Amino acid sequence: MSGDLESLRIMEVLLTAEIFNQNPTLDLNDLTPACREIFCSGDTKSIKRPVYVSDGLMKRTLNIADAHDKIAKNPFVSYEEFGQRLKITTLQPAAEWFLAQGGKDLIRQNPALAFFFESFNGTGVSYQDVRKANPPYEDTRASLDTKLSKLIGEDEKLRGALDLVIVSAPEEIEQRMEDLICSPEQTAIIHKIHHALHHRDFLNRHRIYEVGKLLFVGPPGTGKTSLALAMSHSMHMPVLEVRLSMITSQYLGETSKNIDKIFELAKKLSPSILFIDEFDFVAKSRVTDDHGAMKRAVNSLLKNIDRISLVKNGVLLIGATNHPQLLDEAAWRRFDEIVEFSLPNEEMRREIIKSSTSSLSCTCDYQELAALTDGFSGADIRIMVKEALLSALMDKREKIDSADLETGIRMIRNRDAIRNLSWK
């Protein structure tokens, strides 16, 4: 950018406000997250026009103090002492000034600006592309909290369900699909779910409901949780994460009610992902536990699985287990897709190593490392890279070499050896 960055940021906000006020077809998803925070009063999905910009809001949200002083010489901005409000006086020349001062990069990240500047020669900006890349409001924590508050206000019993799950908005999920190395089978399942979501109405009309109940099966560290969370981000759906061991209270008779509450909350928050880790904890073979309360809990779980549907309820159910042999047949057959997470093969290990070191300075032979890490899970490889980096830093280096990576490999081998020890 050729212009002063703070002045351009101030002008971005002022132009966005003016364009948004003049075009009632624009909505919250045409505002950047920063502009939403400035223009929205409270955590609400609705936004009242006209929107205003004040010195105080600029300081609170963008950490720019005395915005009016920084933009005082701009002939296209007025400042109202009473209320400390700033405003664009004439849109067209103000927009031309913004573009001439180097605002093109900001336009490419702001749907409202892209909407206005799309017709300008030389910008090469596409409003639809910019809007698509902008984080949608529905993905934000503010949107999720608004929805949760409304649900609890309508049904106080749902408050108890929130104590049993970790509810995350898509914007809070660190895992991204592009960062994961998936098998072809896993990728195919994800594409299938995307298509099912896109054609929900069609499937519903034809009463095809048994879609979207996935069971992730594989040893620890193979990416079951990472993929479930990444799907939340890519599908723009909040995720309710629960470990069945968490909801088996000391009063075992409450477990069935807890399960009912969780499934009800997932339906109320739809579209959503309900991710149940440690699925074998309750849904294990019923012949191994003759406790009546536990049997009722298992029956409650199976009943709720029967009654939930991606097509009808907008809930994607994902169960995960490291011990599929513990699941009884009744639990197993309720999932329409069994997704295997095996230890990565050599090609996948090479890609995981490349991904794990992509932001680091690393001199290594990826193919050789892939061969040396036979039997490693994805989690093992990430720990290996972490140990290699710490080894380099302890040697006052930021560049990882083969000796550092060998240190990481030895550390993983030692961990496995200790785990397999048996003390008598």
Domain assignment of residue 299, yes or no: yes
Q: Do 25 and 98 fall into the same domain? A: yes
When computed from its CA atoms, the radius of gyration of the chain, rounded to whole angstroms, is 26
**Total structural domains within the chain:** 3
pTM above 0.85, yes or no: no
Residue 287 to residue 293: CA distance in whole angstroms: 14
Q: Do 261 and 176 fall into the same domain? A: yes
Residue 62 to residue 72: CA distance in whole angstroms: 18
Place of tokens 């998803």: 29
224 DSSP β-pair partners: none
Whole domain around residue 397: which residue ranges?
Answer: 346-419
Do the beta carbons of residue 192 and residue 296 sit within 8 Å?
Answer: no
pLDDT tens-digit profile, the chain (424 residues): 344 889 999 999 999 999 999 999 999 999 999 999 888 865 455 688 899 999 998 998 889 999 989 998 999 999 998 888 999 999 999 999 999 999 999 999 999 999 999 988 878 899 999 999 999 999 999 899 989 999 998 888 888 888 889 999 999 999 999 889 999 999 999 999 999 999 999 999 999 998 999 999 999 999 999 999 999 999 999 999 997 777 765 555 677 888 899 999 999 999 999 999 988 877 664 555 556 777 778 888 899 999 999 999 999 999 999 998 888 888 889 999 999 999 999 999 999 999 999 999 988 899 999 999 999 999 999 999 999 999 999 999 999 998 999 999 999 999 888 877 766 5
Q: Of the residues 116, 134, 152, which one is the last residue of a structural domain?
A: 134
Q: Do 238 and 315 fall into the same domain? A: yes
Q: Which amino acid, one-letter code, is at 268?
A: K
Residue 114, judged by CB atoms within 10 A of its CB (0-12, 13-18, 19+), counts as: buried
Domain assignment of residue 130, yes or no: yes
Domain assignment of residue 276, yes or no: yes
Domain assignment of residue 239, yes or no: yes
Q: Of the residues 340, 372, 399, which one is the last residue of a structural domain?
A: 340
Domain assignment of residue 424, yes or no: no
CA 355 vs. chain centroid, Å, equals 19
Strand 85-88 with 53-54, pairing: antiparallel
Q: Of the residues 134, 161, 185, which one is the last residue of a structural domain?
A: 134
